[in-house]
Chains A and B, each alone.
Chain A
């Protein structure tokens, strides 16, 4: 099946620094990638939809200047948490949707997640 990787799997940083998380589709092209955030024992909350070659679409309440998303190629999207603070500590998960023609639902394949801890 399709595989999505994330790097790093775990990162610890100091408050005020920026952290970049990569999401890659390894064996398929993904026009669209999604970034989720998951707090302990809570559900996945969609942060933004990342479209290759265009600006990301952010969900209501998500600061676009805080969470910078770049989708420069059909296999890579990056999420940069700028000036991170302890409240940004969370589990960040990406998913990628395969590029296919026609309408209907194309399955989202999820990455393993990145655990961010801001001290």
Chain B
């Protein structure tokens, strides 16, 4: 069965410091990985997906099939980045998503 692991429940960094939110997955097929973000008192929204290979709000994530990882990175954290981040895996031909447990990112001044 598929599984997504986010080892850190809370990550606290100072403004301007680099950020890396870890995500590992297990899936026997060809995975599609996503990062979702939930800002305080707001709904869950898509941040980026590995297929797009894009940078959103300064965040990037590279799918590493060898290490089965999809870590989210940003070189310089901003205060507005403080939020809950969920890594998600889409499996099969449908649109079912398996979510990790989430990492709360706190950017301190």
Contact = CB atoms under 8 A, between A and B. Distances in A.
A49 B95 CA distance: 9
Interface string A81-119: 000000000000101010000000111101111000000
B99 A110 contact: no
A44 interface: yes
A5 B49 CA distance: 24
Interface residues of A, number: 21
Interface residues of B, number: 20
Contacts of B43: 4, 110-113
Interface in A14-59: 32, 34, 41-46, 49
A105 B44 contact: no
Contacts, number: 41
A49 B101 contact: no
Nearest to B1: A60
- Say whether chain B's binding surface is mostly helix, strand, loop, or mixed: loop
Given A46-B97, A106-B95, 10 more contacts: A34-B96, A42-B101, A43-B102, A44-B86, A44-B99, A105-B49, A105-B51, A110-B45, A112-B42, A113-B43
25 contacts: A4-B43, A34-B95, A34-B96, A41-B9, A42-B101, A43-B99, A43-B100, A43-B101, A44-B44, A44-B86, A45-B99, A46-B97, A49-B94, A93-B44, A97-B95, A105-B32, A105-B49, A105-B51, A105-B95, A108-B97, A110-B45, A111-B43, A112-B42, A112-B43, A113-B43
A62 B54 CA distance: 36
Contacts of B32: 105
B90 A105 contact: yes
B96 to A, nearest CB: 6
A113 B49 CA distance: 23
Nearest to B46: A107
Contacts of B51: 105
B26 interface: no
A112 B45 CA distance: 10
